[in-house]
């Protein structure tokens, strides 16, 4: 199916990315260890120029990258997206020195980045973070003390974009963003064993020193850096989900055309064909919603947070439905370890939570809707 926002060149590029993910990147992914950073895969993303494209892309390009890679190799998609999420604040708000030090390394696939926002007590309510940035001895910078949790690429990243409370005010106003290299004294971490095969960990900050040279943007305005990054990435989380839905739909079309039962192929059973039609319709609707939100972001249109939230919400919920239905139509074979759908079933659950859970997206959408209403007299 052709999406309204894609020209022939974009469609061809997406097919090239899908083939690259399927034929070149998937073999590297299969050699990696679940739950660990796959550095050969990250290096390949750099070698193929995808990380360079990532760091220079707008929201729509980012969506096309993530959807196409996810359709062919979810591990490659995730490795690419995490590089963008961790390095995005550096590109957006970093100093010339910070950019010169880290962005070439990220583009080449030599440095692994991480976005450290969530904490044990501050997940969906990101503004409630408690990681403290206390003044250093003699007023020399700050010392970071506290915890971060559910951090992708931790504890194996080479640097972290860290959001800490410097005390300029309550809530979001008191948050500052820092670029923290992984070798800073006092910074340690542990890996977390997750349902999805993503590299996720916890970080412990025991008086980690940072200075004014490590600040991303301005002191006390780091929450805006975080939100700008997430607003760019939210539609592309939907694109990741759409890529998984498309992979599940592709597998289901092949399976139901070949598999025979009750005297004919499964596709001739109305109960099956109607489910496949529903899977395809929801997937295409999610694609269009994602592309529209991304195009609105790139055009600087109003209401982007609400549209991005709609795209993320609908696409991730759709992918969950499509993958679950695909498993049902494949039967027991889809439950075997190593089957594509068994893999997707574990992968698809996480996007409904991270970068803002489904419930948070609904809250954002409602606030945006009411904000557009005229104030009663």
DSSP helix/strand/coil, 144: strand
Axis-axis angle for helices 304-330, 270-299 (nearest 10): 160
Q: Please give the DSSP secondary-structure letter assigned to residue 375.
A: P
> CA–CA distance from 56 to each of 111, 234, 304 (Å)?
17, 17, 20
At 264, give phi and psi (nearest 5°). -170, 175
At 179, give phi and psi (nearest 5°). -100, 115
The count of residues in the chain is 377
Angstrom distance (rounded) from CA 362 to CA 270: 34
Between β-strands 113-116 and 187-191, what pairing exists: parallel, antiparallel or unpaired?
A: unpaired
Give the containing element (helix H, strand E) for 181: strand 175-181
Written as six digits, the tokens of 132 are: 């403290």
Written as six digits, the tokens of 117 are: 């926002």
Angstrom distance (rounded) from CA 134 to CA 209: 10
Angstrom distance (rounded) from CA 296 to CA 300: 6
Say if residues 293 and 299 touch (Cβ distance below 8 Å): no
Active site residues: 355
Say if residues 241 and 316 touch (Cβ distance below 8 Å): yes
Angstrom distance (rounded) from CA 334 to CA 340: 7
Say if residues 232 and 355 touch (Cβ distance below 8 Å): no
Angstrom distance (rounded) from CA 147 to CA 174: 17
């Amino acid at each position: 199916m052709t999406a309204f926002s894609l020209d022939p060149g974009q469609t061809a590029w997406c097919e090239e990315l899908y083939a690259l993910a399927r034929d070149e990147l998937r073999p590297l992914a299969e050699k990696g260890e679940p739950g660990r950073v796959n550095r050969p895969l990250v290096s390949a993303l750099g070698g193929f120029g995808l990380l360079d494209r990532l760091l220079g892309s707008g929201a729509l390009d980012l969506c096309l990258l993530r959807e196409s890679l996810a359709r062919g190799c979810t591990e490659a998609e995730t490795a690419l997206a995490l590089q963008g999420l961790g390095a995005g604040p550096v590109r957006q708000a970093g100093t010339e020195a910070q950019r010169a030090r880290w962005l070439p390394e990220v583009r080449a696939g030599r440095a692994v980045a991480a976005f450290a926002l969530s904490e044990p007590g501050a997940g969906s309510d990101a503004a409630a973070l408690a990681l403290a940035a206390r003044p250093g001895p003699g007023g020399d910078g700050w010392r970071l003390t506290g915890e971060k949790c559910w951090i992708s690429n931790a504890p194996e990243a080479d640097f972290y974009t860290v959001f800490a409370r410097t005390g300029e005010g309550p809530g979001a106003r008191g948050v500052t963003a820092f670029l923290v290299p992984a070798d800073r004294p006092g910074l340690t971490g542990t890996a977390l064993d997750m349902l999805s095969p993503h590299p996720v960990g916890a970080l412990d900050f025991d008086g980690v020193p940072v200075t004014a040279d490590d600040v991303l943007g301005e002191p006390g305005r780091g929450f805006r850096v975080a939100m700008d990054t997430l607003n760019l990435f939210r539609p592309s989380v939907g694109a990741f989900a759409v890529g998984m839905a498309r992979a599940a739909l592709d597998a289901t079309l092949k399976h139901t055309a070949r598999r025979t039962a009750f005297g004919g192929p499964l596709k001739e059973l109305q109960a099956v064909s109607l489910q496949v039609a529903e899977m395809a319709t929801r997937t295409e609707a999610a694609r269009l919603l994602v592309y529209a939100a991304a195009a609105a972001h790139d055009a600087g249109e109003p209401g982007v947070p609400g549209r991005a939230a709609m795209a993320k919400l609908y696409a991730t919920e759709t992918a969950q439905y499509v993958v679950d239905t695909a498993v049902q139509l494949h039967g027991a074979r889809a439950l075997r370890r190593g089957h594509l759908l068994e893999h997707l079933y574990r992968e698809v659950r996480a996007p409904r939570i991270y970068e803002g859970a489904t419930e948070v997206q609904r809250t954002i959408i409602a606030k945006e809707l009411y904000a557009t209403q005229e104030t009663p007299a």
